[in-house]
Chain A
Amino acid sequence: MELFSLFFGAVVINNVVLTKFLGMCPLLGVSRKTSSAIGMGAAVVFVIFGSSVFTYTLYYQVLVPLDLQYMDLITFILVIAAFVQFVELILKKYSPVLYKALGIYLPLITTNCVVLYVTLFNITEGFSFVEMIVYSLAAPIGFMLVLYIFSTIRERLDLADVPAAFKGNPIALIVAALMAAVFTSFVGLF
């Protein structure tokens, strides 16, 4: 039950995009089409899960025994960059179709702040291994959910008559404000 509330809380109530404001660049950048939103979301889920397991193990098996905790930021960001590159290579070799679908979004994930946030959050919250697994799946799923809903709204927005100054990103941010209102209304459910 505790794990479930951790999962649900990370997906909906403490959604990384709408309450922690992370991953805004991809939210505004790749939310124009539903298909690319799903592709980006799936890639982020995979990268966050993989690099979280990797950095968590690295932190507790290497950095803590050697008393090098202050190196966390540098090692984590390098692990993330290397992992993204690694995923790109593997996909290119074994699944060219998926690679084509995700291709352009993969390198962008390195600078997606959700990834670094989740890996650091796992450590600062003192999560156990199981909690870490649950959280690193739930947080990017929340990201994917928002990205998907957002892209469906944006496809409609393209056809709407928007005041000139609000065209493009400003109106998208108004949409985000309304979505944040919906998501925060779940607070207190658990």
Chain B
Amino acid sequence: MKSVLNYGMNLLKENPVFGLYLGICSTLAITINLNNALGMGLSVIIILTISNVVISAIRKITPDEIRIPVYIVVIATLVKAIELLIKAYAPAIDQALGIFIPLIVVNCIILGRAEAFASKNGVVASALDGLNMGVAYTLSLVAMSLVRQILATGIVDLSNPFTNTEIFSITLIPSQYTIPIFSSAIGAFLTFALLAAGVSAIKNAEEKKLKGAK
């Protein structure tokens, strides 16, 4: 139980999205509903894990001067492969995420982990790091999309992207009390600001506690 709590605390404090402000373009754009958030999150987990493994495996033969172009080519190849797979097997996700799938190439989290972790560590450690960061990113997307979807539509639903059938759908807020602005651009910025402020409030409280202990 304690380790779960610790993991949760680390997830909050070193959160790539709300703590370090990485990859926020896609976070703001696609978190209109839970389906999009999970689709994007899973794509990023797959790409980040594989790209970390590949970059870690070739780290000894990559010349230092051109490492960034090498990383970008590796990442772009993976993203294109995932994009083609999504187009073929899950057209609903392709429709919803559109141009944000190719834009995963310039998602700072992926290049950031390649540069900060995979280029210096072994293959297994890099794979775990990619998985870990990807899960943290996905959880942030899910948190943000839940807030926005519940406030804007009052409904939480999830459907299978491959067959387009509904898995569940729960109505939490009657439709006359919803706040549709949260599905627009304004709501995206507001939700993100409030969640980020929440994370920094937790961080501040933690720091105070540490200072008090000393």
Contacts and interface: CB of A to CB of B under 8 A. Distances in A.
Contacts of A124: 99
B189 A176 contact: yes
Nearest to A85: B69
B72 A77 contact: yes
Looking at chain A, what size class is its interface with the partner chain?
35 or more
B124 interface: no
Contacts of A130: none
A36 interface: no
Given A23-B25, A70-B84, A174-B190, A165 B197 contact: yes
- Interface SS majority for chain B: helix
Contacts of A98: none
Best-surrounded residue of A19, A21, A28 (most CB of chain B within 10 A): A21
B99 A164 contact: no
Given A23-B25, A121-B99, A177 B186 contact: yes
Interface string A166-180: 111111011011101
B204 to A, nearest CB: 6
B48 interface: no
B106 interface: yes
Looking at chain B, what size class is its interface with the partner chain?
35 or more
Interface of A: 18-25, 28, 70-71, 73-74, 77-78, 81, 110-113, 115-117, 120-121, 124, 163-171, 173-174, 176-178, 180-181, 184
A80 to B, nearest CB: 9
A113 B106 contact: yes
Contacts of B73: 74, 77-78
Pairs of residues from A and B, 9 with the lowest C-beta to C-beta distance, nearest first: A177-B189, A173-B193, A165-B201, A21-B28, A170-B197, A21-B29, A180-B185, A165-B197, A74-B76
